[in-house]
Amino acid sequence: MPKTNTKDSAEFVKPATPPLLPADSEDSQLTLLLKAYLRPEDIFQIWAAYRYSATAHEGQMRKSGEPYIMHPVSVACILAELHMDTPTIIAGLLHDVVEDTGTTQHEIAQIFGKQVANLVDGVSKLDKIEFQSATEAQAENFRKMLLAMSQDVRVILVKLADRLHNMSTLEIMAAEKQRRIARETLEIYAPIANRLGLNTIYQSLEDLSFKFLYPMRFRVISKAVKAARGNRKEVISKILDDIKQRLKTEHIDAEVSGREKHLYSIYKKMIGKTVTFSQIHDIYGFRVVVKDFSTCYVALGVLHGLYKPIPGKFKDYIAIPKANGYQSLHTTLFGPFGTPIEVQIRSKEMHNVADAGVAAHWLYKASDAHLTALQQQTHKWLQRLLDIQSESTDSLEFLEHFKVDLFPDEVYVFTPKGRILALPKGASAVDFAYAVHTDIGNRCVAVKVNHELAPLRTELHNGDHVEIITAIHAKPNPAWLNYVISGKARAHIRHYLKSMQSSESAELGERMLNQALRALHANPADIEEERWTKLLRDYNVTSKEEILTDIGLGQRLNVLVAHQLLALREDHDKSTNKALGIITIRGSEGMAVNFSKCCRPIPGDPILGFINKDKGLVIHTHDCPAIRKFRVDPEKWLDVEWEPDSKSLFKVNLKLAAANQPGMLAKIAAGIAAAGSNIDNVSMEESDNSAYTNMQFTVEVENRAHLAALMRHLRKIPDVVRINRAKGASIERRRKGR
């Protein structure tokens, strides 16, 4: 992309529109751009691709009324401005031929090579596959494109050029479609451009999206920026002259220019800080480009001598670059007339990367070490996409994790060995653990932040020294999903939990199926393999475990599966669940069996089981009010009973009334511990200066006998006036209301 003109930088950048003449003519804009950096033989190949594309799209028109070929030529122009290589330019010209014409990928590979064909395929939509919804289709298309990008980053460069031109011609679309495309661009494509360091494309996509999402706000801020530009003209000129003169006096060779914040950036600042336009003072800033790395810091000292720096407003992105490779010194100074001004100081190489990001490799053909480091960072990010994809079971989940991974703000923390890790802003210690290695994340049990023990949910900040403590038998906790931020962490935790739930549900499903078979006077061990094979074919599944998992999750009825395995009619023995026998509950089934929080059943309580889709078997007490509506429909419940010698611990809610005096909570906690129980949660009602206070405890007990012993022990405390087992629903509501 061309450098942003200072006078017009408040406007979004419009991609070049080629004149209405063949792109392969000597005077066309595409040809002029290509001649600036490509060899004649390369340009000849691109002309051939243009003619092929023009023939394929012949007769097709855009909604604006212009020939369709104008769009791929405009995309090629944007790529040429980035000095992309020949295969990428050709892919830009051909990116729609597979999707919109009868051309196949095989034909493109034969004529232009496999490399071009793969680039075109990465950008093309999956229109040959039927999806359940438009959202699912969109998510799967994103997944396909992003996975192609992880193999070759040029795929996304073609797609970004395609999206930039489409956004610049969006006026012709209906308002609803404008908003949908603009929101998609703002949530996906602009952040990708930012992540790859394509600053000009990133800002253009944001401003174009802003224009169509909030047209009135766009016009108001645009008008205000133009007015401010005129009002501050004299101040800006004075600052520019002062900076240039001082640097010249100190014998520093530098290019000094003014720059305006782009419109969407101004809007985000107004919303984020809840301020008006007139309260934003850094709409106009200054950029100083010097020859090399060391001169950046010399120039910083000179400018701090010219204007006083504002404390806490200095950022060194040279020592610690952003994840997209951006490097620069940022400082905010008190300018003349008390106006705060922001100055960016960088070297020429840093300026190249800041403007073009990963495309700087093609744009400048430099052997700069920083470009190599940027490519390595980009490669790591793309590899992280592959990790997320491998742990995501469907496209919508992958897209969700990917959006999370596009956080623009980051924190930088140190590993015990001094390595710097960049994490999304708001990341927790668990995010850090997964960023180090998946096994570290799966086995983490504690963390030291700045050499002090801290909870795993601790939010990390810039400069924190983080050390993860692991245990061999540790495993991910579902509660981690409430505070992890990074896409990688969320994907790995969800994948592990789904795997665990699947195996536990399969075990429960097998027990339920065996009970059903025995109730039908059949021995489970006598079921021939041929019957299972036929059942797999009838259900269109690949393994026996899938059927058992579905039974455990309540997605298939065990009695129906049992009937089909025995080749009996479905209407045979209508007693169904009544004839199924009793399911034994051990309390160690994991996620396949859930104990309801509304009644918190424990061994010794009469219980019933309900099959709930996705949750598996849910256990309630026999008299739980929440199951009254199900009792009238026996098809929905199963008879269950406790295993006699269960050694598991179960949570139960207790409500106590005790004297409102110092040390009371400690006495009760000591009493609970003395009874061999553990406190899982405690809450108290706010004091109203009365003599007594109500406390709610969630404690762990083995069974009703253990609970009775615990309650007797607590009643012996003189200041405890009342104690009873409480229904969990009321306590849950109180916790959420706090």
Active site residues per annotation: 99-100
**To which residue do tokens 């006598």 refer?**
526
Torsional sign, CA 299, 302, 304, 307: negative
Q: State whether residue 654 is helix, strand or coil.
A: strand
Give whole-number Cα distances, 198 to 84, 354, 361, in Å: 13, 7, 12
Instruction: Tell me the C-alpha distance between 29 and 438, whole Å.
Output: 50
Instruction: Tell me the C-alpha distance between 163 and 424, whole Å.
Output: 26
Instruction: Tell me the C-alpha distance between 707 and 677, whole Å.
Output: 9
Q: Going by C-beta distance under 8 Å and a sequence separation of 6 or more, which residues neighbour residue 35?
A: 43
- List b or e across 597-627, with b for residues whose CB sees 16 or more CB atoms inside 10 angstroms: ebbbbbbbbebbbbbeeebbbbbbbeebebb
475 residue type, one letter: K
Instruction: Tell me the C-alpha distance between 90 and 38, whole Å.
Output: 13
Is residue 348 within 8 Å of residue 376, measured between CB atoms?
no
**To which residue do tokens 């039908």 refer?**
520
Q: Going by C-beta distance under 8 Å and a sequence separation of 6 or more, which residues neighbour residue 413?
A: 420, 421, 423, 432, 460, 461, 462, 463, 464, 465, 466
- List b or e across 198-211, with b for residues whose CB sees 16 or more CB atoms inside 10 angstroms: bbbbbbbbbbbbbb
Is residue 295 within 8 Å of residue 252, measured between CB atoms?
yes
Beta bridge partners, 411, equal 423
Q: Going by C-beta distance under 8 Å and a sequence separation of 6 or more, which residues neighbour residue 500?
A: 475, 590, 591
Instruction: Tell me the C-alpha distance between 387 and 397, whole Å.
Output: 13
> Pairing state of beta strands 678-684 and 637-642?
unpaired
Q: Decide: residue 227, CB within 10 A, 0-12 exposed, 13-18 middle, 19+ buried.
A: exposed
Rounded to the nearest angstrom, the gap between the alpha carbon of residue 716 and the centroid of all alpha carbons in its chain is: 53
Note every long-range contact of 219-225, with CB atoms under 8 Å and residues 24 or more positions apart, other chains counting: 221/263, 221/266, 221/267, 221/277, 222/10, 222/11, 222/263, 224/277, 225/10, 225/260, 225/263, 225/266, 225/283
Tell me the DSSP string of 389-444: HHH-SSHHHHHHHHHHTT-S-EEEEE-TTS-EEEEETT-BHHHHHHHH-HHHHHHE
Q: Calculate Rg over the CA atoms of the chain.
A: 33
Q: Tell me how long the chain is.
A: 738
Is residue 229 within 8 Å of residue 260, measured between CB atoms?
yes
Give whole-number Cα distances, 338 to 240, 286, 657, in Å: 16, 16, 62
Q: What tokens appear for 520 in the block?
A: 């039908």
Instruction: Tell me the C-alpha distance between 222 and 219, whole Å.
Output: 5
Helix, strand, coil shares, percent, the chain, to 5: 55, 15, 30
> Pairing state of beta strands 309-316 and 593-595?
unpaired
Instruction: Tell me the C-alpha distance between 87 and 96, whole Å.
Output: 15
Tell me the DSSP string of 638-650: EEEEE-TT----E
